[in-house]
Amino acid sequence: MDAVASKPQDYKSELKPVWCPGCGDFSVLAAITRALAELGLEQRNVALVSGIGCSSRLPAYTSLYGFHAVHGRALPVASGLKLARPELTVLAAGGDGDGFSIGGNHFVHACRRNVDMTYIIMDNSVYGMTKGQASPTTEADWTGSKLTPEGPGLSPFRPLEMALSAGATFISRAFSGDPLEVTRQICAGIAHEGFSFIHVLSPCVTYRPEQKGWREFVHADFTEPYTDRREAFLRLLDDDGFTTGILYKSQTPPFQTRPKPVEPVSVLGDQFAI
Amino acid sequence: MIRSTVSIALTGSGGAGVMTAGQMLLDAAAQAGYYGLMGRTLGPQIRGGESAAMIRLSNRPVQGLDDGHDILLAFDWGNIDRFIKELPLVPGGIVIADPHHGQVPAVMDQDHHRIVNIPLHDLAKTIPGGRVNMIGLGLIAELIGLDHAHLLDRVAKQLTGKGEQALAASKAGLDAGAEAAAGITGLDPLAEPQPRTGDRWSITGNDAAGLGAIQGGVRFCAAYPITPATDILEWLAPNLPRVGGSLVQCEDELASINMIIGSSFGGVPSVTATSGPGLALMTESLGLAVASETPVVVINVQRGGPSTGIPTKSEQVDLNIAVNGLHGDAPHVVTAPLSIGDCLFTTQWSVHLAEAMQTAVIVLSDQVIGQSRAIIDKPADLAFVGKRLVPERIEAPYRRYAITADGLSPMALPGQEGGMYTADGLEHNETGHPSTQIEHHQEQLDKRRRKVEGFDYGDHWGVVEGDDDADIAVVTWGSSAEPAREAVQRARTQGFKVRLVAARLIAPVPVARLTAALDGVSRVLVVEQNHGGQYFRHLRAHMDLPGKVETYHRPGPFTLRPREILQRILGQ
């Protein structure tokens, strides 16, 4: 059991995903395993944390330490794990509903906190597990859901702008149909010291079949990561939501706790002595 | 007559220095060898609202307030009508009023009070740098017979670095106060303290809970501030790093509970502290801790509810949600400290329970014990240090949720070779793989219940005191234990055969232990501080109580006092 795994297959479990044939998440799972193999990380030293939703089923399909938590809470679980066990490589993964709606507050504060971990959002602009409702990234006029027959009527959430303004130090976007790019970004995100946000456009072929056409829309125009927030913001103003590549990287030191292991527990009571 | 205990209330608007003066008095008395405690009642204002320090001193250990105060000293009368009912005086109780603040409010001017006018403000003005605080303290010390030397010592400690002049002003203030007390008679002197046999501590329940958590092995805390639990978090923040741990402030309670689930999954014993509204937010994830068998401890310092309720004041109102708030069948543990000092024991024990059983433990403290300070004998070292069952060697396939006789399955920690598994809130089979199968659901439900209900809680489940041949048992829990204990003691001195049964373990209900503790009684009186009789209903759902069963429960914010419980014991 000492040998370091080196093949993507070694990072997969024997479980068969619950996803629909053609789901973009298969490629993301493959990209995660490929990235871990490329980096030569031992499974036992990597943890993958998720919330609830189609893509959040991902940890069980890996041979890593996984945590399939409750809806929206992947980031705090992952943050607690990383802060308590800084030597581990910690990944968090999930969907747009999990990360931007119910977990939206944690997303903002995880960007601010800049804990050294990598967050992969598989965005398909729909709640798949509950069978096709509008998510925060759904277009305002999408009428495909019985819950919002006239469309959600809200302006779509803009994840990259949000991440940038909240303080994420690594921001990128990829298309699941380009698994090599997803792999490259995951490798770069893991290597980055700080909170890495990877926005993956991952089509839902069941409730948003039109997303099969995303291949035609994506364009790899985030060519060189900005290190200046102002430039990154300006670039995002021209983003059509389909620009891929690494947008932004900064060298802000990651948040970490600084324990000072100096005293035995027995001395703590002294402060109460009369 | 010599009295064994004396109670003093100091009131005034925030900024009048009420709490500082109160703690100086308590500490000085402790230095002199007395036991005692100081409770506090505060208005909702951020600054400058009404406040009162409630101090009780005694020559024997005491951790609960008395029925009424012997002396009430008002530094001013700000909003006194709002909270005077929380500050009852004994018949003939002395009210010290300062004419500088105008007429004594009608609410104070009652037949059974003795109003004494002392010009605290004017006296302070006669001393360069003089403070009203010191005049008041000198006066109180003189009335109860507390040597000034101890007060001066505390003042000197507080004024370190502020120069001789400040100290001289304080001393002059104390002397002036003592002189002003000369004309006040009718208060029996307090008995001399008994010789000290060991070390003593001055500690609040909230600090004690923090210390208990660390002593139990906690090294990580995720925190979101909420009254009246914030003190625990603020105590842990500087103290956890001293022992190699850490505390992180979170964006909300959803984050704090989930962060400690993450850190505990990583193998680090973890805690958070909150109060009712925060506990409500945490309950979904407490269910995750139960289902994924990840140990966590939540210290819930109860306050008046429902909703935002009365945030600064006490009530034992979260038993229902702590016991029943989790969705699904989710067996877990609920404990409650029985006194200010017991916050240490119960929290440390709770960490031990959480780690040993790989489950969630909710500790139900409350404002009255959390934010009160007591002088206690230095607690003995406790053996409880969280010890998790971790596999020594793992055979493939690793079965994280293996079905075992006691329900406990060895828990691999990230980094451990061969132990990789996915912790899941989804129902799962023994390996942790999600499953909807009938037999997997049944066997996992069974194992999670078995480990909690079959655990040996030993004698720590509660305290049983009083008469072996008691006719009456007073059954209570948490912070109501101290007033109930005093009521039982008084009843026994009157010749009644009474037993106190105070539960530290709320869930699972220790039915066999309670049944044994109630053996032979013909009357049971269940006592607690809430409107709904939550513990009474909880007990009745799990067991039959012997004989004639009565319940005495009332809401806060006026905390339970011995006399009202005594009256119920006596059937009055």
In the structure encoding, which two tokens stand for residue B198, read together? Answer: 């060991």
Please tell me the distance from the alpha carbon of residue A207 to that of residue B485, in angstroms, as a whole number.
65
- B396 and B423 housed in the same domain: yes
pLDDT bin (cut points 50, 70, 90) of residue B241 is very high
Whether B193 is in a domain gets the answer no
Please tell me the distance from the alpha carbon of residue B347 to that of residue B242, in angstroms, as a whole number.
19
Instruction: Establish if A258 touches chain B: CB-CB under 8 angstroms.
Output: yes
Q: What digits encode the pLDDT tens for the residues A104-130?
A: 999 999 999 999 999 999 999 999 999
Q: Which of B203, B219, B251 sits opposite A272 (nearest CB)?
A: B203
pLDDT at A2: 44
Please tell me the distance from the alpha carbon of residue B373 to that of residue B203, in angstroms, as a whole number.
5
Q: Which CATH number fits domain A8-272: 3.40.50.970, 3.40.50.2300, 2.60.120.10, 3.10.20.30?
A: 3.40.50.970
Q: Do A1 and B415 touch (CB under 8 A)?
A: no
A60: nearest CA partner in chain B: B422
Which residues of A are less than 8 Å from B25 in CB distance?
Answer: none
The CATH number of the domain holding residue B10 is 3.40.920.10
ipTM of the prediction: 0.97
- Of B81-90, B307-316, B410-419, minimum mean pLDDT range: B81-90
Q: Do A79 and B262 touch (CB under 8 A)?
A: yes
- B451 and B477 housed in the same domain: no
Which residues of A are less than 8 Å from B259 in CB distance?
Answer: 76-77, 79-80, 83
- B431 and B465 housed in the same domain: no
Please state the rounded mean pLDDT for residues B500-525. 98
Q: Check whether B46 has a pLDDT greater than 80.
A: no
Please state the rounded mean pLDDT for residues B319-333. 98
- B154 and B167 housed in the same domain: yes
CA distances from A114 to A105, A167, A260, B127, B277 (A): 14, 7, 21, 56, 28
Q: Do A67 and B423 touch (CB under 8 A)?
A: yes
Q: Do A81 and B243 touch (CB under 8 A)?
A: no
Whether B503 is in a domain gets the answer yes
Give the type of residue at B274. T
Give the 3-state DSSP-derived string for A213-233, with helices as H, strands as E and coil as C.
HHHHHCEEEECCCECCHHHHH
Instruction: Establish if A87 touches chain B: CB-CB under 8 angstroms.
Output: yes
Please tell me the distance from the alpha carbon of residue B220 to that of residue A82, in angstroms, as a whole number.
12
Q: Do A106 and B251 touch (CB under 8 A)?
A: yes
Q: Do A272 and B259 touch (CB under 8 A)?
A: no
Q: Which of A47, A70, A266 sits opposite B425 (nearest CB)?
A: A70
Please tell me the distance from the alpha carbon of residue B297 to that of residue B351, in angstroms, as a whole number.
6
Please tell me the distance from the alpha carbon of residue B226 to that of residue A38, in angstroms, as a whole number.
46
The number of distinct structural domains making up chain B is: 4
Decide: pTM greater than 0.95.
Answer: yes
The CATH number of the domain holding residue B354 is 3.40.50.970
Please tell me the distance from the alpha carbon of residue B162 to that of residue B160, in angstroms, as a whole number.
6
- Computed over every residue of chain A, the mean pLDDT equals 96
Please state the rounded mean pLDDT for residues B169-186. 91
**Contact by Cβ (8 Å): B256, B222:** yes
Q: Check whether A1 has a pLDDT greater than 50.
A: no
- B366 and B406 housed in the same domain: no
CA distances from A71 to A93, B211, B270, B332 (A): 12, 33, 21, 21
**Contact by Cβ (8 Å): A110, A159:** no
pLDDT at A4: 55
CA distances from B544 to B134, B322, B470 (A): 56, 22, 18
- B467 and B339 housed in the same domain: no
Give the type of residue at A64. L
What is the residue range of B228's domain? 202-377
DSSP letter at B149 equals H
DSSP-derived pairing of the beta strands B246-249 and B505-507: unpaired
Q: Do A264 and B243 touch (CB under 8 A)?
A: yes
Please state the rounded mean pLDDT for residues B160-180. 89
In the structure encoding, which two tokens stand for residue B529, read together? Answer: 């501080």
- B448 and B472 housed in the same domain: no
Please tell me the distance from the alpha carbon of residue B79 to that of residue B96, in angstroms, as a whole number.
16
pLDDT at A258: 74
Q: Which of B377, B403, B425 is the last residue of a domain?
A: B377
B209: nearest CA partner in chain A: A269
Instruction: Establish if A102 touches chain B: CB-CB under 8 angstroms.
Output: no
Whether B383 is in a domain gets the answer no
Share of chain B above pLDDT 90, in %: 85
Q: What digits encode the pLDDT tens for the residues B419-476?
A: 999 999 999 999 999 999 999 999 999 999 999 999 999 999 999 999 999 999 999 9
- B443 and B535 housed in the same domain: no
Distance from the Cα of A151 to chain B's closest Cα (Å) equals 30
Q: Do A77 and B434 touch (CB under 8 A)?
A: no
Q: Which of B183, B218, B233 is the last residue of a domain?
A: B183
Residue among A68, A79, A246 nearest A174 (CA): A246
pLDDT bin (cut points 50, 70, 90) of residue B531 is very high
- B50 and B117 housed in the same domain: yes
Share of chain B above pLDDT 70, in %: 100
- B78 and B145 housed in the same domain: yes
- Of B122-136, B267-281, B494-508, minimum mean pLDDT range: B122-136
User: At which residue do the structure tokens 């959480």 appear?
Assistant: B354
Q: What digits encode the pLDDT tens for the residues A157-187?
A: 999 999 999 999 999 999 999 999 999 999 9
- Computed over every residue of chain B, the mean pLDDT equals 95
DSSP-derived pairing of the beta strands B220-223 and B114-117: unpaired
A50: nearest CA partner in chain B: B424
Q: Do B244 and A85 touch (CB under 8 A)?
A: no
Q: Is the dihedral of CA B563, B567, B568, B570 positive or negative?
A: positive
In the structure encoding, which two tokens stand for residue A146, read together? Answer: 């019985």
Q: Which of A64, A70, A109 sits opposite B285 (nearest CB)?
A: A70
Q: What digits encode the pLDDT tens for the residues B338-377?
A: 999 999 999 999 999 999 999 999 999 999 999 999 999 9
Q: Across chain B, how many H-helices and E-strands are there?
A: 18, 21
pLDDT at B507: 98
Instruction: Establish if A148 touches chain B: CB-CB under 8 angstroms.
Output: no
Q: Check whether B126 has a pLDDT greater than 80.
A: yes
The CATH number of the domain holding residue B547 is 3.40.50.920
- B248 and B341 housed in the same domain: yes
- Of A214-228, A253-267, B47-61, B434-448, minimum mean pLDDT range: A253-267
Whether B303 is in a domain gets the answer yes
A61: nearest CA partner in chain B: B422
pLDDT bin (cut points 50, 70, 90) of residue B411 is very high
What is the Cα B399 distance to its own chain's centre?
Answer: 40
Residues 36-65 of A with CB under 8 A from B: 43-45, 47, 49, 57, 59-60, 62-65
Phi then psi for residue B251, to 5 deg, are: -80, -25
Q: Check whether A3 has a pLDDT greater than 70.
A: no
Give the 3-state DSSP-derived string for A126-162, with helices as H, strands as E and coil as C.
EECCCCCEECCCCCCCCCCCCCCCCCCCCCCCCHHHH
E-strand ranges in B250-345 read 270-274, 296-302, 333-335
Q: Is the dihedral of CA B183, B187, B191, B193 positive or negative?
A: negative
Which residues of B are less than 8 Å from A78 in CB distance?
Answer: 262
Whether B474 is in a domain gets the answer yes
- Of A15-29, B350-364, B383-397, minimum mean pLDDT range: B383-397
User: At which residue do the structure tokens 């044939």 appear?
Assistant: A21
Q: Do A261 and B254 touch (CB under 8 A)?
A: no
